Structure formats: C-alpha cells, structure tokens
Amino acid sequence: MMVFKVKSKTLQDVLKVLYGNIVSQGLGFLTIILISRDLGAEQYGIFSLLLAIFTISVQVSDFGVSTSYIKYLSENVSQSREIFFTVIISKIVLSILIIISLYFLSEYISIFFFDSNIYSKLIQFISFAILFHSIVSVIAANYQAKQQFRYFAFMNIFNNLLKLITILMIAFFFVENKHLVYYVYIYSFSPLSILLFFMIKRYKEFTLQNRFQFYHFIQIYKLGFWIFLSSLATMIMMRLDIMMLQKMSTSQEVGYYSVAMNLAMIFPLITSSLTTTLLPKLNDFLKNHSLKEYIAKILVNIKYIILLLIILELLSPYIITVLFGHMYIHSVKVFQVLIVAFTFGIIVNPISIIIYSINRAYVGTVLNWIQLPLNYFGNVLFIPLFGAFGAAMSTVLIYIFAGIFIYVYLIKYIGKNINE
C-alpha cells in the first residue's frame, strides 16, 4: 500500500509538471508560429541566432546552480531562507560580470556572425536582461526543490502567456521593419514581470535580515561546477548548429533548422517533465530500490515513445505546412531527423540523472564535452553538403553516442558494485 502511495504521488507530480509544460510550451509554440510566419525564414534565422547568443550567456551566469540548488536545498529545507538569499546574492554578482563581458564583446559578436556591427547595440541592450533570467531561475529551482510543482508550472505558463500577448500586440500594431528587434526584446525581458510579482509576494526572502552564508555558497557552487561545465557544453551544442549554419550557409537555412527544432521540442518537453519531477525524488527511491530497478522502470516505457516517434514521422509534412506554411517545406526532413535524436533523449535523460545521486556528476560533464567536438566536426562535414539537414544529421549521431555511453557506464557501475 505504501509503495502504491509513493507511486501515486510521484505520478501526480509528473502530471502536474507535464500539464504545466504542455500549457506553457503550447503557448510558447503558438508564439513561435506567429513569429516565424511574420518574419519569414531569413529573419527568423537571425532572430534564432540572437536568442542563441543570449541563452548561452544566461547559461554561463547560472553556473549550474539552478540544478545543484535543488539537490542541496532538498537536503537542508530548514535553512531554506538563508540558502535562497545566499544563492540570489551570488547570482547577482556573477550576472553583472557576464553582462559586462557581453556588453563589451557585442560588436565583435555581431561582426563575427553577421559580417557587420548592425546588431551590436541590440546585443548590448539585451545583455542587461541576463540578471532577470538568473534570479528567476533560482525562484523556479526553489519551487522545484520544495516539490511545489504547481507554482513551478504557473511561472512557466505566466511567462509564456505574457510573451504571446505581447508578441500579438507587436505583430498587429507596430511597424513591420521593427518586429525582429521587438521580438528579441520580449524574449529577453519577459522574466522581469515574474521577478516583480515574486518580490511583491515574497519580499521577506529578499530582505537584509537574511545573511549571506559562505558555507552554503561553497557547497552549492562546488556541486554546481560540474553541472555548469556539463550544461554549458549542452547549451553550446544545442546552439552550435544554428551558429555554424549562419557561418557556413545562410540565415534562411538557420530559419528552416530553427522551425524544425522548435517543433521537435515536444520530446524535450516530456523529458524535462520527467527529470524535473524525478530529480528531487530519486534519492528516496534508491533507499528502497536498486539502480537496476530504476533503469528497468524507465526502459519498460520505450514502446510508447517509439509509437509516438512513428506517428510524428508520418505526419510531419502536414504538421509543418499547416502550422508554418509552405515557405518552411524544407524544414520537414530536418524535423524528421531531429525527432529521432530527441527520442533517445526521452529514454536516456531520466536514466542519466542517476549520476548525480551516485556523486558522479563529472561523468555527464565529460560526456558533454566529448559530444561538443563531435558535433562540431559533424557540422563541418555535413553542413556544406546538406545545409540544415546536415546539421540535423550531426545532432542525431551525437544523441545516439550519448545514449550508448550512459547505458554502458551505468551497467559497468552496477556490475562493479554488485561484485564488491
């Protein structure tokens, strides 16, 4: 009976996060459809690249803390206010350093990717939004660590709803030649509204009555270091295709690839719902079950994932043309390849979080930094030949490699511990 209750509670939490992600990503997806149709393939490619540069900067400012904070806080709930305040202060300082760096590198970045400094001022302006993203990520992690998944879901839904409403207003009421710049502004600064709402609602957690605890800072950032290296490699890898397509092909190819990538994000949506829920629960599960049992529970559902993959492969031409229009017909083959890659992600990612529970976070880091040069050389080989389709081919190969790597490592780890 107790096992049933635990399973039921976990399933409820998964469904809460999944429901929140579906609504949130659904709103985000509608926004992407509107933007891609409004801008066209070439300008949408530029929009995607600018956001990629910004997102990597945000990831650097996070330093892996959003994940390490969840694990640390779930083990020290009684000191949650002090831990929260410590992390907020440290992330503000780090964000300011990243803002300064991006601000002064903006002209070089614009010239490197666009052969002109045309976007340097825009990059400078949106660099200030890094601070808001950094703080909001801690707020989201705080809800996740405390397993308050309803609030976690609400944040995502509210953020994407606000973006959709604002984008609609821009699309219908503002001059068309300014749409690209305004869309970048909205995506960069939208978390500011969440931050203001949280500060009004929970202002006590920001007061100076709380103290910066150096011990908490060291512990969280020590764990976060490996997560940071791993997530940074992942983030660069996810945007590397867009960056290399811009350099080696055209903005139009970037647009085709970006549309396919955004549509394929249905799979990471499922993956993030699972990992968001399982990460704070995994330690409790492993107290009464073995690693082998956990892996078996994940693998037993593969057949459903494969069925979803087959259905999407067959329907992909109709889905893309109906949603994005015939101007993105070249995105179909790209999408068909990418969803194969993300299928592996749904299977592998819930298994890979084991490495945090067995204190092997560096394994994920090593894997991601191996994947990064593999992706780079794959792009060098395939992009000149096949454009956006070639970038997708490179992505699927590294996902397959990652799946095999994680599975083999954990099987060896389990076998070694059984023998000992």
HSE of 135 in the Cβ direction (CA atoms, 13 Å)? 23
Runs of H (alpha helix) within 115-145: 120-127, 130-145
The values of phi and psi at residue 116, to 5°, are: -165, 155
Mean pLDDT of 281-301: 69
Least-confidence region, from 139-143, 237-241, 331-335, 361-365: 361-365
Amino acid sitting at position 387 = G
Q: Which of 45-54, 236-245, 270-279 has the highest mean pLDDT?
A: 45-54
What is the pLDDT at residue 2?
A: 36
What is the pLDDT at residue 109?
A: 94
What is the pLDDT at residue 64?
A: 75
What does DSSP assign to residue 353?
A: T
Render pLDDT for 205-228 as a digit per residue (tens, 0 to 9). Answer: 555 556 767 777 777 777 777 777
What is the pLDDT at residue 318?
A: 92
pLDDT at 293 over 80: no
pLDDT at 202 over 70: no
Q: 25 is written with which tokens?
A: 């990503």
Q: Which residue has the higher pLDDT, 346 or 50?
A: 50
Residues 6+ apart with CB under 8 A from 213: 79, 82, 83, 86
What is the pLDDT at residue 264?
A: 85
Contact 336, 316 (CB under 8 A): yes
What is the pLDDT at residue 6?
A: 41
Contact 157, 149 (CB under 8 A): no
What is the pLDDT at residue 125?
A: 94
Smallest Cα–Cα separation from 268: which of 235, 317, 227? 235
Kindly write down the DSSP assignment for every residue of 360-377, as one continuous string: -HHHHHHHHHHHHHHHHH
pTM above 0.75, yes or no: yes
Cα–Cα–Cα angle for 367, 380, 102, nearest 5°? 70
Contact 249, 387 (CB under 8 A): yes
What is the pLDDT at residue 130?
A: 93
Percent of the chain with pLDDT strictly greater than 90: 31
Render pLDDT for 44-62 as a digit per residue (tens, 0 to 9). Answer: 999 999 999 998 898 888 8
Smallest Cα–Cα separation from 372: which of 227, 240, 264, 257? 240
Q: Which residue has the higher pLDDT, 135 or 68?
A: 135
Mean pLDDT of 11-40: 78
- Please report the sign of the dihedral spanned by the C-alpha atoms of residue 87, residue 90, residue 96, residue 99: negative
What is the pLDDT at residue 3?
A: 36
What is the pLDDT at residue 1?
A: 35
pLDDT at 327 over 60: yes
pLDDT at 167 over 50: yes
Mean per-residue pLDDT over the chain, rounded: 80
Render pLDDT for 7-18 as a digit per residue (tens, 0 to 9). Answer: 445 556 556 666
pLDDT-derived band at 82, boundaries 50, 70, 90: confident
pLDDT at 419 over 60: no
pLDDT at 406 over 70: yes
What is the pLDDT at residue 180?
A: 93
Least-confidence region, from 1-15, 133-147, 255-269, 306-320: 1-15
pLDDT-derived band at 123, boundaries 50, 70, 90: very high
Mean pLDDT of 91-117: 92
pLDDT-derived band at 4, boundaries 50, 70, 90: very low
Longest dimension (CA), the chain: 69
| Residue whose pair of structure tokens reads 């492969």 in the numeric block | 313
